[in-house]
Protein backbone atom coordinates (compact mmCIF):
# COMPACT_ATOMS: atom_id res chain seq x y z
CA UNK A 1 0.00 0.00 0.00
CA UNK A 2 1.33 3.45 -0.91
CA UNK A 3 1.58 6.03 1.86
CA UNK A 4 1.08 9.79 1.89
CA UNK A 5 2.64 12.62 3.89
CA UNK A 6 1.64 16.28 3.87
CA UNK A 7 2.68 19.26 6.01
CA UNK A 8 1.21 22.76 6.15
CA UNK A 9 2.70 25.31 8.56
CA UNK A 10 2.52 29.01 9.31
CA UNK A 11 6.22 29.46 8.48
CA UNK A 12 8.72 27.53 6.37
CA UNK A 13 9.90 24.41 8.18
CA UNK A 14 12.27 21.50 7.70
CA UNK A 15 10.32 18.22 7.51
CA UNK A 16 13.08 16.32 9.33
CA UNK A 17 11.12 14.36 11.96
CA UNK A 18 8.19 13.58 9.69
CA UNK A 19 10.40 12.65 6.75
CA UNK A 20 12.64 10.43 8.89
CA UNK A 21 9.63 8.46 10.08
CA UNK A 22 7.99 8.46 6.66
CA UNK A 23 11.16 7.36 4.87
CA UNK A 24 11.13 4.20 6.98
CA UNK A 25 7.79 3.28 5.40
CA UNK A 26 9.61 2.93 2.07
CA UNK A 27 10.81 -0.49 3.19
CA UNK A 28 7.37 -1.94 2.43
CA UNK A 29 6.54 0.57 -0.33
CA UNK A 30 9.70 -0.04 -2.30
CA UNK A 31 8.76 0.97 -5.85
CA UNK A 32 9.46 4.67 -5.51
CA UNK A 33 9.54 7.76 -3.33
CA UNK A 34 9.13 11.46 -3.90
CA UNK A 35 8.89 14.78 -2.11
CA UNK A 36 7.63 18.20 -3.24
CA UNK A 37 8.17 21.53 -1.51
CA UNK A 38 7.89 25.22 -2.35
CA UNK A 39 11.09 27.25 -1.83
CA UNK A 40 9.11 30.19 -3.28
CA UNK A 41 6.05 30.32 -5.55
CA UNK A 42 7.61 27.55 -7.65
CA UNK A 43 7.72 23.89 -6.61
CA UNK A 44 10.74 21.60 -6.28
CA UNK A 45 9.92 17.93 -6.91
CA UNK A 46 12.50 15.24 -6.18
CA UNK A 47 11.67 11.60 -6.81
CA UNK A 48 13.17 8.22 -7.67
CA UNK A 49 11.67 4.85 -8.65
CA UNK A 50 13.54 3.02 -5.86
CA UNK A 51 13.17 2.21 -2.16
CA UNK A 52 13.40 5.43 -0.13
CA UNK A 53 15.37 3.70 2.61
CA UNK A 54 18.00 2.57 0.11
CA UNK A 55 18.27 5.98 -1.55
CA UNK A 56 21.36 8.07 -0.84
CA UNK A 57 19.41 11.10 -2.06
CA UNK A 58 16.54 10.65 0.43
CA UNK A 59 19.10 10.05 3.18
CA UNK A 60 20.73 13.37 2.30
CA UNK A 61 17.42 15.24 2.17
CA UNK A 62 16.27 14.24 5.66
CA UNK A 63 18.90 16.59 7.11
CA UNK A 64 19.12 19.11 4.26
CA UNK A 65 18.82 22.64 5.73
CA UNK A 66 17.69 24.24 2.47
CA UNK A 67 14.60 22.05 2.19
CA UNK A 68 12.29 24.48 3.98
CA UNK A 69 8.72 25.19 2.99
CA UNK A 70 5.32 26.04 4.43
CA UNK A 71 3.87 23.16 2.41
CA UNK A 72 5.53 19.79 1.87
CA UNK A 73 4.05 16.73 0.18
CA UNK A 74 5.64 13.27 0.01
CA UNK A 75 4.79 9.75 -1.17
CA UNK A 76 6.22 6.23 -1.01
CA UNK A 77 4.94 3.91 -3.72
CA UNK A 78 3.78 0.32 -3.82
CA UNK A 79 2.91 -0.01 -7.50
CA UNK A 80 -0.45 -1.48 -8.54
CA UNK A 81 -0.80 0.35 -11.89
CA UNK A 82 2.12 1.40 -14.09
CA UNK A 83 5.71 0.25 -14.37
CA UNK A 84 8.45 1.04 -11.86
CA UNK A 85 9.75 4.14 -13.66
CA UNK A 86 10.33 7.74 -12.65
CA UNK A 87 7.46 8.92 -14.87
CA UNK A 88 5.06 6.88 -12.72
CA UNK A 89 6.54 7.99 -9.40
CA UNK A 90 4.60 10.47 -7.22
CA UNK A 91 4.22 13.39 -6.65
CA UNK A 92 3.12 14.60 -10.09
CA UNK A 93 3.51 18.24 -11.10
CA UNK A 94 1.70 20.61 -13.51
CA UNK A 95 1.31 24.39 -13.97
CA UNK A 96 -2.14 26.02 -14.12
CA UNK A 97 -2.75 29.78 -14.27
CA UNK A 98 0.71 30.57 -12.95
CA UNK A 99 0.52 28.14 -10.02
CA UNK A 100 2.38 24.87 -9.78
CA UNK A 101 0.17 22.06 -8.53
CA UNK A 102 1.43 18.78 -7.09
CA UNK A 103 -0.51 15.60 -6.43
CA UNK A 104 -0.07 12.16 -4.85
CA UNK A 105 -2.53 9.27 -4.58
CA UNK A 106 -2.95 6.15 -2.49
CA UNK A 107 -5.26 3.50 -3.95
CA UNK A 108 -6.30 1.93 -7.24
CA UNK A 109 -8.89 3.10 -9.79
CA UNK A 110 -10.56 0.93 -12.45
CA UNK A 111 -12.82 1.63 -15.41
CA UNK A 112 -12.34 5.39 -15.16
CA UNK A 113 -10.86 6.43 -18.51
CA UNK A 114 -14.08 7.12 -20.46
CA UNK A 115 -15.85 8.93 -17.61
CA UNK A 116 -12.90 10.96 -16.34
CA UNK A 117 -12.28 12.72 -19.65
CA UNK A 118 -9.03 14.61 -20.14
CA UNK A 119 -8.57 18.01 -21.76
CA UNK A 120 -5.52 20.27 -21.86
CA UNK A 121 -3.60 18.13 -19.34
CA UNK A 122 -2.22 14.74 -20.35
CA UNK A 123 -0.36 12.07 -18.39
CA UNK A 124 3.31 11.47 -19.09
CA UNK A 125 3.22 8.05 -17.46
CA UNK A 126 0.61 5.30 -17.40
CA UNK A 127 -0.83 5.39 -13.88
CA UNK A 128 -4.41 5.86 -12.73
CA UNK A 129 -3.05 8.46 -10.31
CA UNK A 130 -1.64 10.80 -12.93
CA UNK A 131 -4.80 10.44 -15.02
CA UNK A 132 -6.89 11.49 -12.00
CA UNK A 133 -4.58 14.47 -11.42
CA UNK A 134 -4.87 15.61 -15.05
CA UNK A 135 -8.65 15.24 -14.86
CA UNK A 136 -8.80 17.35 -11.69
CA UNK A 137 -6.68 20.11 -13.19
CA UNK A 138 -8.88 20.27 -16.28
CA UNK A 139 -11.95 20.57 -14.07
CA UNK A 140 -10.28 23.34 -12.03
CA UNK A 141 -9.33 25.12 -15.27
CA UNK A 142 -12.88 24.93 -16.62
CA UNK A 143 -14.28 26.28 -13.35
CA UNK A 144 -11.88 29.22 -13.65
CA UNK A 145 -10.49 28.98 -10.12
CA UNK A 146 -7.64 31.41 -9.54
CA UNK A 147 -8.37 32.04 -5.87
CA UNK A 148 -10.00 29.36 -3.74
CA UNK A 149 -13.19 30.05 -1.74
CA UNK A 150 -15.34 27.82 0.46
CA UNK A 151 -17.78 27.15 -2.39
CA UNK A 152 -14.83 25.90 -4.46
CA UNK A 153 -13.71 23.55 -1.68
CA UNK A 154 -17.21 22.03 -1.59
CA UNK A 155 -17.13 21.71 -5.38
CA UNK A 156 -13.71 20.01 -5.22
CA UNK A 157 -15.08 17.50 -2.72
CA UNK A 158 -17.76 16.49 -5.22
CA UNK A 159 -15.10 15.99 -7.91
CA UNK A 160 -12.96 13.90 -5.57
CA UNK A 161 -15.94 11.73 -4.70
CA UNK A 162 -16.63 11.25 -8.40
CA UNK A 163 -13.09 9.95 -8.90
CA UNK A 164 -13.50 7.86 -5.74
CA UNK A 165 -16.46 6.05 -7.34
CA UNK A 166 -13.96 4.18 -9.54
CA UNK A 167 -12.00 2.59 -6.71
CA UNK A 168 -9.84 3.33 -3.71
CA UNK A 169 -8.82 6.96 -3.56
CA UNK A 170 -6.92 8.86 -0.88
CA UNK A 171 -5.00 11.88 -2.15
CA UNK A 172 -3.03 15.01 -1.36
CA UNK A 173 -3.09 18.06 -3.65
CA UNK A 174 -1.39 21.45 -3.33
CA UNK A 175 -1.16 24.69 -5.29
CA UNK A 176 1.62 26.07 -3.08
CA UNK A 177 -0.85 27.94 -0.86
CA UNK A 178 -3.28 25.21 0.20
CA UNK A 179 -2.87 21.58 1.18
CA UNK A 180 -5.95 19.56 0.17
CA UNK A 181 -6.23 16.19 1.93
CA UNK A 182 -8.96 13.67 1.06
CA UNK A 183 -9.76 10.25 2.47
CA UNK A 184 -11.86 7.98 0.28
CA UNK A 185 -15.36 6.98 1.29
CA UNK A 186 -14.59 3.28 0.73
CA UNK A 187 -12.92 3.24 4.16
CA UNK A 188 -10.19 0.84 3.00
CA UNK A 189 -7.34 3.35 3.20
CA UNK A 190 -6.45 5.28 6.35
CA UNK A 191 -5.57 8.96 6.67
CA UNK A 192 -4.73 10.89 9.85
CA UNK A 193 -3.71 14.38 10.92
CA UNK A 194 -2.05 15.94 13.93
CA UNK A 195 -1.89 19.57 15.02
CA UNK A 196 1.48 20.94 16.16
CA UNK A 197 1.35 24.08 18.25
CA UNK A 198 3.88 25.48 20.74
CA UNK A 199 5.08 24.85 23.35
CA UNK A 200 6.58 21.75 21.77
CA UNK A 201 7.80 18.74 23.70
CA UNK A 202 9.36 15.36 22.98
CA UNK A 203 7.80 12.90 20.55
CA UNK A 204 8.65 9.28 19.80
CA UNK A 205 8.85 7.94 16.26
CA UNK A 206 6.60 4.89 16.09
CA UNK A 207 8.65 2.94 13.53
CA UNK A 208 12.02 3.71 15.15
CA UNK A 209 13.06 3.48 18.76
CA UNK A 210 14.09 7.02 19.59
CA UNK A 211 12.68 10.35 20.73
CA UNK A 212 13.07 13.80 19.21
CA UNK A 213 12.75 16.99 21.24
CA UNK A 214 10.65 19.38 19.16
CA UNK A 215 11.20 21.97 21.87
CA UNK A 216 14.81 22.28 20.77
CA UNK A 217 13.61 24.32 17.80
CA UNK A 218 14.51 27.93 18.54
CA UNK A 219 11.44 29.29 16.74
CA UNK A 220 8.51 28.37 18.97
CA UNK A 221 6.03 30.51 17.01
CA UNK A 222 5.47 28.03 14.18
CA UNK A 223 2.24 26.05 14.13
CA UNK A 224 0.63 23.76 11.65
CA UNK A 225 -0.61 20.32 10.68
CA UNK A 226 0.91 17.04 9.56
CA UNK A 227 -1.15 14.57 7.50
CA UNK A 228 -0.08 10.95 7.06
CA UNK A 229 -1.59 7.66 5.99
CA UNK A 230 -0.73 6.16 9.39
CA UNK A 231 0.48 8.01 12.52
CA UNK A 232 4.24 8.58 12.49
CA UNK A 233 4.77 9.66 16.10
CA UNK A 234 3.44 9.29 19.64
CA UNK A 235 1.37 12.49 19.26
CA UNK A 236 -2.47 12.43 19.40
CA UNK A 237 -3.27 11.83 15.73
CA UNK A 238 -6.88 12.20 14.54
CA UNK A 239 -8.32 9.85 11.89
CA UNK A 240 -10.12 11.27 8.87
CA UNK A 241 -13.68 10.08 8.40
CA UNK A 242 -14.53 8.29 5.16
CA UNK A 243 -15.19 10.65 2.26
CA UNK A 244 -13.69 13.56 4.21
CA UNK A 245 -11.86 16.59 2.73
CA UNK A 246 -9.78 18.96 4.85
CA UNK A 247 -8.05 22.04 3.42
CA UNK A 248 -5.13 23.69 5.22
CA UNK A 249 -3.53 27.08 4.59
CA UNK A 250 -0.81 28.95 6.53
CA UNK A 251 -0.84 26.30 9.24
CA UNK A 252 -4.61 26.54 9.79
CA UNK A 253 -7.56 24.35 8.89
CA UNK A 254 -9.63 26.53 6.54
CA UNK A 255 -12.18 23.95 5.37
CA UNK A 256 -13.62 20.67 6.56
CA UNK A 257 -16.89 19.12 5.47
CA UNK A 258 -17.21 17.41 8.87
CA UNK A 259 -15.26 18.93 11.75
CA UNK A 260 -14.94 22.47 13.06
CA UNK A 261 -12.02 24.50 11.69
CA UNK A 262 -8.98 24.69 13.97
Q: Which residue out of 2, 8, 134, 171 is catalytically annotated?
A: 2
CB atoms under 10 Å from CB of 228, counted, come to 25
Q: What are phi and psi of 136, to 5 degrees?
A: -60, -45
Is 171 assigned a catalytic role? Answer: no
Coil/strand/helix, residue 76: strand
Q: In what order do the strands lie in the sheet with 3-13?
A: 44-48, 32-37, 69-77, 3-13, 224-228, 192-196, 238-239
Which positions ≥6 away from 113 have C-beta within 8 Å?
A: 131
First-to-last C-alpha distance (Å) of the chain: 30
Task: Sort 37 into a burial class: Cβ within 10 Å, 0-12 / 13-18 / 19+.
Answer: buried
Cis peptide upstream of residue 61 (ω within 30 degrees of 0): no
Which residues participate in catalysis according to the annotation? 2
Amino acid sequence: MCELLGLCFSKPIKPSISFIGFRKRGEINKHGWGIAFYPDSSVQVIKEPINAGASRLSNFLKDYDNMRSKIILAHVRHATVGSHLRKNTHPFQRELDGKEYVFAHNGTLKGYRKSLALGNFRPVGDTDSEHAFCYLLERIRKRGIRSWYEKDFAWLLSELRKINSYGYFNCLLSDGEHLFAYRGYDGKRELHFVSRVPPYGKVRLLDQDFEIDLGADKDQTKHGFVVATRPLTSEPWVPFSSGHLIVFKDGKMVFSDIIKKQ
